[in-house]
Structure formats: C-alpha cells, structure tokens
C-alpha cells in the first residue's frame, strides 16, 4: 500500500500504528461475500477506508457525523459507495447482532477519561451486543506502557486520558469467546513531530524484539463473539 493511503488510514505515528494494523489485516475477510462492518470513533474515517478498500460495506460513525471530513477522504479513493455515515455513541449502540466486524482505533482512553474506568467495560459490552455470533472486534488502543510514557503524556499530551493497562485486557474481554492480541511500539510516541515519530517508529521495528511486550504502548487485538 502506498504511503499516502497509509497516512490517510493511520493519520499519526504511522509507522507503529500501521504495524499494529498489519496484525489485524491478516484477520479481515476479503470481499468474497458481503461483510457488514462498523467503525466507532471514526474521526477522519481511516479504518473505514481500510475496510472499504477490501470490498467491505462499512458504517462509519463518531459522536458527531463524520461524513463532512471522512467522506471527502473516502471519495478520493472512490470507495464512498461502500461507506455510509452516522452519529453514534460507542457507549450506547442501537444495533443488536448486526455486524460481522466492528473496528476502533484509540477510543477507550478518551471514552473513560478522568478515571471513568467503567466506560471501558460499557463500550465493550455494547460492541459485543452489536456483533453477530462469530463476529469479530478488531481494535488498536493506546496502552499505559511505562512510567516514562505516563509522565511524558501527562506533561505534553493528554493528561486526562485513561490509558488501558495491559492487566485489564483479559477481564474486559471476558465475554468474548476468544481474545488474542499483541503489542508494539516503544519509542515512537516520544516524537514531537511526525517526522520524528516515523524515525523512532523505524527504530522500534529494529529493537522491538528486546523490548518486553508489557512495556510497549500500542495494543492490537482480535476478539471473537
């Protein structure tokens, strides 16, 4: 996939987050049949684009209807015919047993910000209900990672964000039939510019094998209902 498309899908810290998406990519059905997908917290609709380029039908959603911005990006790739748009609250999903695939990227920390930890479980319970039996949740999420990551985020980033702790994963996803995940990235989020993040992301790719999985800052997972 070319660099411009990857930027439109990932938007920020593209080297490490694209590596995380690669883990999910192996589990996304191609367009052999009609696959109904939902993106939550879409913003610019990056994951909707990723799914639509594979021939899936996608409902692209955020708290406010993302079509004004996301629709323009999707039209650039001539995949708008596969995407519809709506305003939707991830903690109150009005669909039951409807989607083959639900995706999100970095929303749990924002939904549960200011230590409203119960909203993580509420969001995942709503997702579980909206999936068809056998449906999959494909997600990437920021992890709390190390004390250094926490300190720098408080100082320069999003101090109210409630980052997911790796120790929460098994309990939060306990309703799902299966959950498998990996982690990636250590240095990338320390970059102050995207150029720096890209360079540090390449460093992560070289050194990741020596960095313990629990100390990385991106969680990439597949949960099956």
pLDDT of 72-118, one tens digit each? Answer: 999 999 998 999 999 999 999 999 999 999 999 999 999 999 889 99
Tokens 């050194």 — which residue? 207
Cα separation of 183 and 167, whole Å? 13
Question: DSSP assignment, residue 168?
Answer: G
pLDDT of 61-74, one tens digit each? Answer: 999 999 999 999 99
Strands 218-224 and 131-142, sheet pairing: antiparallel
Cα separation of 200 and 79, whole Å? 32
Strands 36-40 and 99-105, sheet pairing: parallel
119 neighbors 90 (Cβ within 8 angstroms): no
Beta carbons within 8 Å of 33's beta carbon, 6+ residues apart: none
Cα separation of 225 and 214, whole Å? 25
Q: What percent of the chain has pLDDT over 90?
A: 86
């Amino acid at each position: 996939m070319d660099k411009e498309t990857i930027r439109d899908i990932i938007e920020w810290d593209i080297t490490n987050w694209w590596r995380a998406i690669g883990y999910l990519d192996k589990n996304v059905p191609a367009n052999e049949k009609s696959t109904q997908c939902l993106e939550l917290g879409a913003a610019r609709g990056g994951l909707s684009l990723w799914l639509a380029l594979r021939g899936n039908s996608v409902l692209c959603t955020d708290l406010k209807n993302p079509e004004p911005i996301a629709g323009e990006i999707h039209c650039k790739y001539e995949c708008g015919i596969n995407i519809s748009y709506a305003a939707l609250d991830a903690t109150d999903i009005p669909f039951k047993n409807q989607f083959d695939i639900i995706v999100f990227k970095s929303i749990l920390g924002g939904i549960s910000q200011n230590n409203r930890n119960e909203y993580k479980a509420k969001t995942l319970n709503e997702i579980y209900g909206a999936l068809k039996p056998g449906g999959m949740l494909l997600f990437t999420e920021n992890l709390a990672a190390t004390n250094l990551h926490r300190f720098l985020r408080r100082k320069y980033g999003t101090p109210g964000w409630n980052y997911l702790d790796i120790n929460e994963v098994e309990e939060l996803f306990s309703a799902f039939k299966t959950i498998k995940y990996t982690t990636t990235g250590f240095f990338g989020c320390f970059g102050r510019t995207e150029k720096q993040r890209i360079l540090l992301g390449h460093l992560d790719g070289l050194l990741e094998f020596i960095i313990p999985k629990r100390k990385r800052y991106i969680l990439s997972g597949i949960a099956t209902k």
